[in-house]
Amino acid sequence: MSPAGARHAASRRRTSAMAPPKLLAGGNPQIPKGEGDAPVQAYIAAMPGWKQAIGRTLDRLIGEALPEVRKAVKWNSPFYGMPGKGWFLSFHCFDRYVKVTFFEGASLDPAPAGLSKYPQVRYLDLHEDAPIDEAQFVDWVKQASKLPGERM
C-alpha cells in the first residue's frame, strides 16, 4: 500500500472508531463481539435514552452480587457468566423494554414470568416507568450463577 493509501486507511479507522455505534431494531446497539468489561461498558454507553439507566443498573447489581462474574458482548448483547460454568444471563434492547434472559430461568425460585419457546429460558422485561425489584433481581442472579450455564 502506498503511503497516501495507508494514511487514508488510518483516517477511515479513526473516523469509524469515533462514530457512535449503529442502533439496530429496537434501539439495540451494534457492538463488536468481545470478552471482558470494556465491550459491555461500550454496549451500555450506546444504549439509547432511558434504556441506558437500566443497563447501568443491571450491570451494577450483577457486579455487586458476583464480583468474579465474567462479561462479554456476543450477538449485540451483554452476557454474564461464572468462570468455568458458562453464561447465565444476557440482556437486549427492544423498542419499549429491555429484555433480560435467564438461560436456566425455569430453575429459579420463583421463576421469572416471561416464557420462552425454550422450556428452561425465562425472561424479565424491564419498562421505562416500572422500577426494577432490585432485591428479587439480585436473588435471581445469585441463584442463576450457581446453575450450569450456556456454553457459547
- Here the CATH number for the domain that contains residue 65 is 3.90.1150.200
Let me know if residue 34 belongs to a domain: yes
Residue 17 resides in a domain: no
The percentage of the chain sitting over the pLDDT mark of 70, rounded to a whole number, equals: 88
Q: Is 9 contained in some domain?
A: no
Range of the domain at 59: 22-145
Give the count of domains, the chain.
Answer: 1
Note whether residue 38 is domain-resident: yes
Q: Could you give the CA distance from residue 81 to residue 72 in angstroms, rounded to a whole number?
A: 9
Report the DSSP beta bridge partners of residue 125: 99
Q: How many percent of the chain have pLDDT more than 90? A: 77
Q: Please indicate, yes or no, if residue 6 is contained in any of the structural domains.
A: no
Nearest to 138 by CA among 94, 80, 76, 74: 80
Residue 84 lies in a domain: yes
The tens digit of pLDDT for each residue in 70-127 reads 999 999 999 999 999 999 999 999 999 999 999 999 999 999 999 999 999 999 999 9
Please check the confidence at residue 16 and state whether its pLDDT lies above 90: no
Plot region of 27 (φ>0 → left; ψ -120 to 50 → alpha; else → beta): left
- pTM equals 0.85
